[in-house]
């Protein structure tokens, strides 16, 4: 079991190679949640994630003989980049095994740090099996993403910095994947601020601790926007710490994570991946639990695909009522489109997209179907625009 001494030693070992990221209070998120929110911005790390903390500490502990053998790990994202970067800085040959479905951008960024990337298997389990075989055949040192005491201690440096830089806190809300971050953070907080409650967060499809504080359950698995914490089972070492030091574990929905990503971007002006926004999603989903409390939230990663970020923002705007999607059956005659555009403009709306379908969707040859997406200031404004249009045309809202 690691202790505060291990975390402090890790902090000294990685100093200068890993960024001491800012700890800031967020007025916008505090207003939105009713809690006093403090953010730890590990999305600003060189690889965009806290994962390089554990990788840097593990590699820094290797003996000269172990460095000469080289290292290997398996990862579909942030851990891969962390190991690749710090292996490069230390002159260690690194092999990263990634599942074949890994997005090309992550493969490219990992290879850019000088590691040899091996794509193998259609699942993380198949990639892990291949990594273990390569590790044995090439006699490399395996750097586990989370079930390793040196990695856990390295991840705990995030909480060490946070607790040194933040004011008084009531709770620390940490996402849980394999458990390295919450284990290192819980050990640190228990030693420095035992009064701070440690709360874990998992997404629905990967909620192995949904029966917490009982035994682990078998999660459903599947796709999730929070792929950084899409781990079916915690590591044995982190799980021991979680059972001992974590107060409760909250499960959040996919939609709540999407809304948290949007609020993080609009309110805190921070780009966060799904796993990095999971803690905020837990606060948004449980307002009575956090209202009036001083809560620290790590943005543990910012590596979100640009297309996914754009789609997430638009989906949230649509749910929030600031994007309005209307279907209209309109007369097929000159000037009708101009009239509709004028009504929207005079109402203060902004047209985003128009689909004008004559041949296949209309009920009559004398009519046409119009699908229009527009932007409003807020749900009330959207309702006003829809009402104005409804005075002249038959509309259906999506």
Edge-first strand order for the sheet with 248-252 is 23-26, 36-41, 294-299, 171-175, 197-203, 248-252
| Residue in the structure block whose two tokens are 């709360």 | 199
Question: pLDDT band for position 358 (50/70/90)?
Answer: low
- Is 195 exposed, middle or buried, given 0-12, 13-18 or 19+ CB atoms closer than 10 A? exposed
pLDDT in tens, 84-100: 999 999 999 999 999 88
The domain ranges of the chain are 4-50+148-315, 56-142, 321-397
CB atoms within 10 A of CB 262: 21
Enter the pTM of the model: 0.90
Three-state SS for 228-253 is HHCCCCCCHHHHHHHHHHCCEEEEEC
**Residue closest to 133 by CA, chosen among 65, 72, 78:** 72
Q: How many CB atoms lie within 10 A of CB 41?
A: 19
Q: How far apart are CA 130 and CA 119, in angstroms?
A: 10
Residues 334-347: what's their mean pLDDT? 93
Per CATH, 4-50+148-315 and 321-397 having the same topology is answered no
Angle at 86 between CA 276 and CA 138, to 5 degrees: 110
Q: What distance in Å separates the CA atoms of residue 4 and residue 186, rounded to the nearest whole number? A: 10
Give the per-residue pLDDT at 101: 80
Q: Output the CATH code of domain 56-142.
A: 3.40.50.1100
pLDDT digits (tens, 9 = 90+) for 4-14: 999 999 999 99
In a 10 Å sphere around its CB, with 0-12 CB exposed, 13-18 middle and 19+ buried, how is residue 288 labelled?
Answer: exposed
> Is pLDDT of 362 > 60?
no
What pLDDT score does 333 carry? Answer: 85
The DSSP annotation for 164-217 comes to: HHS---SEEEEE-SSSHHHHHHHHHHHHH-TTSEEEEEEEGGG-TTTTTTS---
Residue 363 has pLDDT above 70, yes or no: no
CATH number among 3.40.47.10, 3.30.700.30, 3.30.1330.10, 3.30.70.260, domain 321-397: 3.30.70.260
Q: Taking the CB of residue 135, how many other CB atoms lie within 10 A of it?
A: 21
Residue tagged 């914490």 (tokens)? 229
Class of domain 4-50+148-315: alpha beta
Query: What are φ and ψ of residue 286, in 5° steps?
Result: -135, 65
Q: Model confidence at 221, in pLDDT bands (50, 70, 90)?
A: confident
Radius of gyration of the chain (CA): 25
Mean pLDDT of 352-370: 74
HEC sequence for 81-103? HHHHHHHHHHCCCEEEEECCCCC
Determine the Cα–Cα distance for residues 29 and 153; give it in Å rounded to an integer.
29
């Amino acid at each position: 079991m690691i202790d505060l001494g291990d975390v402090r030693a890790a902090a000294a070992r990685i100093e200068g190679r890993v960024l001491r990221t800012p700890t800031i209070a967020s007025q916008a998120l505090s207003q939105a949640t009713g809690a006093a929110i403090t953010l730890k911005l590990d999305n600003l790390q060189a690889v965009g994630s806290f994962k390089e903390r554990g990788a840097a500490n593990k590699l820094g502990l290797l003996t000269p003989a172990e460095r000469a053998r080289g290292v290997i790990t398996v990862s579909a994202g942030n851990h891969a980049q962390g190991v690749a970067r710090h292996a490069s800085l230390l002159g260690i040959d690194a092999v990263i095994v990634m599942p074949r479905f890994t997005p090309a951008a992550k493969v490219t960024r990992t290879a850019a740090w000088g590691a040899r990337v091996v794509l193998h298997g259609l699942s993380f389990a198949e990639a892990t099996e291949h990594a273990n075989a390569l590790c044995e055949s090439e006699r490399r040192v395996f750097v586990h993403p989370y079930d390793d005491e040196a990695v856990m201690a390295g991840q705990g440096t995030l909480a060490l910095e946070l607790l040194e830089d933040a004011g008084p806190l009531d709770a620390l809300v940490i996402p849980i994947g394999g458990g390295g971050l919450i284990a290192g953070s819980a050990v640190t907080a228990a030693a420095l601020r035992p009064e701070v409650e440690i709360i874990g967060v998992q997404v629905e499809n990967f909620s192995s601790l949904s029966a917490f504080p009982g035994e682990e359950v078998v999660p459903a698995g599947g796709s999730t926007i929070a792929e950084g914490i899409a781990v079916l089972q915690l590591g044995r070492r982190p799980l021991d710490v979680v059972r001992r030091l974590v107060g409760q574990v909250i499960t959040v929905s996919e939609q709540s994570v999407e809304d948290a990503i949007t609020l993080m971007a609009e309110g805190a002006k921070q780009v966060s991946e799904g796993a990095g926004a999971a803690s905020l999603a837990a606060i948004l989903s449980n307002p009575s639990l956090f209202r009036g409390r001083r809560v620290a939230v790590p943005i543990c990663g910012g590596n979100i695909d640009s297309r996914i970020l754009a789609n997430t923002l638009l989906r949230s705007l649509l749910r929030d009522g600031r994007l309005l999607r209307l279907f209209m059956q309109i007369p097929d005659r000159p000037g009708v489109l101009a009239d509709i555009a004028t009504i929207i403009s005079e109402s203060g709306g902004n047209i985003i997209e128009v689909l004008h379908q004559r041949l296949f969707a209309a009920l009559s040859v004398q009519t046409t179907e119009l699908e229009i997406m527009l932007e409003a200031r807020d749900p009330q404004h959207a309702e006003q625009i829809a009402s104005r249009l409804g005075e002249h045309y038959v509309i259906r809202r999506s």
